[in-house]
Structure 1
Amino acid sequence: MTLTYLDFLVLLLGPPLVVLAGLLWAGDCRLGRRRCVAAGLTIVTAVGLVYTTPWDNELIGRGVWWYGENAVLATIWRAPAEEYLFMLLQPVLTGLWLARLPRVPTATTWRTGMTLGSRTGGVLAGAVVTAVGAVFLGSDATFYLGAILAWAGPVFALQWGFGWRQLWEQRRLVTLGVGVPTLYLAAGDRVAIDLGIWSLSPAYTTGVTVGGLPVEEGLFFLVTNMFVVQGLVLFLWVVDR
């Protein structure tokens, strides 16, 4: 039996979402108050959907990746309907996982975390990511890699410029919050590629793989989970002030 994109999403995301949502509903939220976590996750998910949609559709239109025959139910713009569903469910999965992890008391106050020097350093770091991505966009072989970095850089500049000190103090939380869902989704992505649910263009990728997964796909899950985790950590920091 051939799996469709929707089948794959149900199998990959369904079980962990049910378990993690059940734990949160039962009141087991170590990150903070459930309502604050839910509000922050809603904001992060909505912003992520708006920011990702044009980027995703542009890359599909350019032929950076495509989908297997009869693998999708319908197309909205250039992307499958399931792609939008994934954009909504990935941050929910990552956010629910993050809710299982406790924050540690930090020394960074609102005032020290928002100094001009702190903002400048964080913004410059994000700008470097963007600049590297822009350079990679100049070559077909590194185009997808560059597209990810150039797209991620402005978000990192905003998040790091806003509160990189707070993110550093919560580095264990951020690392675990990002690392586990990134590894899980990357493993699932490799399975999907092997099954032919979607395929990457050899013309726009480096051909470098880690454990059989193209590095571009691993980087994509890394940066998107960083968006979610850093966004939620900073949101709760603002609420706690």
Structure 2
Amino acid sequence: MTDQAGHDATTTRYGVADDLLLLLFQPASGTVSGENTLFYVLAGAVLTDLALEDAVAVDDRGARGTVVAAAGDTAPDDELLLPMWEYLADKSRGVQTALAAIGPRLREPVLDRLVARGDLRRERGRVLGFIPTETIELGDTGRREQLVAAVRATLVDGAEPTARTAALAALLSASGALPTLHREIPWGSAVATRAKELERGDFGADAAAQAVTRTMTAVVVNAVIAAGVVSGR
């Protein structure tokens, strides 16, 4: 897909899932934190992105639980958001059901988009002439550094976040990977406390207008934790 200027929308748009995967990437080791349960967290990021676009609705049905449904009549242009929107447009779904249905197909297209933009670099080769190998390195766009700085300002310096940064920090916390970023975002009790507030949707006054995003973030985080993504919480 291309925008009006002729740019490829799959590489120019920064989705929440893109930025979350980039934050979870560990430059020193070339690995992604929480690989075993990454699909839950990425799917949660997609739902959050749809909430930021007012393209999804949350319905608390009390004892029957919380369900999500597509909102609006226009499908999103982003190819990462479209499958989730179409899945929810078919009928309302439980959050965990939606995460499990869409999440397993997200890692590779998100990674491909990061590589296409230059945020990450991927080298493929073979060992012994036939065993395929893949090495991932941090690109030189500076995108990851910008994201780390924004999340660090929110969690460490007490800066008032945008709704998007608050949701991103909450998802990073829900993934259980926040302590692995200790060298970049110093881990401690104050950081843990603020991260928990964000998980509950307490974004602060500047993000008050994003009520759907706050609600969706809290719902997604609860679903991710309930699914057992983070053990021992």
Higher strand share: 2
TM-score (norm 1): 0.31
Higher helix share: 1
Between the two structures, name the one with larger relative contact order (CA 8 Å, sep ≥ 6).
1
